[in-house]
């Protein structure tokens, strides 16, 4: 069922996510302790699926703190891509994630400045 979760994250299909979660309430918990390098939240964030991101954050806010093998949180990915709405939602559930560093020592503010997303930079500051 975990592989199906990753597929619906790629699609950004909220309806399919809800169907999967109705079949297995611990599905998001299992992905957090699994050996995947990217969480479904990372994937949906990279692809800009804001509805999917919101639904996952509603059910599992601590996924916002998950870091992938590069030390990137979903916030790192959202700021890099310039997804203002997703950034706003990630900050709403856990503003402290702004202080997480990737394996190169960069926090989301650094990434935002490097990418030149001024609107997101203002939001983070």
- Which residue in the block uniquely carries the two structure tokens 């109705």? 22
Residue 34: how many CA atoms within 13 Å on its side-chain side? 18
> What are the residues whose beta carbons fall under 8 Å from the beta carbon of 112, sequence distance 6 or more?
79, 80, 120, 121, 124
CA distance to 52, 96, 97, 101, per residue, from 6 (Å): 12, 26, 23, 25
pTM over 0.95: no
pLDDT, tens only, 50-100: 999 999 999 999 999 999 999 999 999 999 999 999 999 999 999 999 999
Domains of the chain: 2-124 (1.25.40.20)
Nearest Cα neighbor of 35 from 66, 78, 76, 77 is: 66
């Amino acid at each position: 069922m975990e592989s199906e979760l990753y597929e619906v994250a790629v699609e950004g299909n909220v309806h399919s996510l809800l169907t999967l979660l109705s079949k297995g309430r611990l599905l998001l918990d299992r992905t957090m302790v699994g050996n995947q390098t990217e969480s479904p939240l990372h994937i949906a964030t990279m692809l800009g699926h804001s509805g999917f991101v919101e639904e996952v954050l509603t059910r599992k806010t601590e996924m916002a703190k998950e870091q992938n093998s590069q030390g990137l949180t979903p916030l790192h990915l959202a700021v890099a891509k310039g997804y203002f709405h997703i950034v706003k939602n990630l900050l709403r559930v856990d503003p402290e994630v702004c202080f997480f560093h990737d394996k190169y020592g960069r926090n989301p503010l650094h990434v935002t400045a490097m990418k030149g997303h001024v609107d997101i930079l203002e939001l983070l500051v």
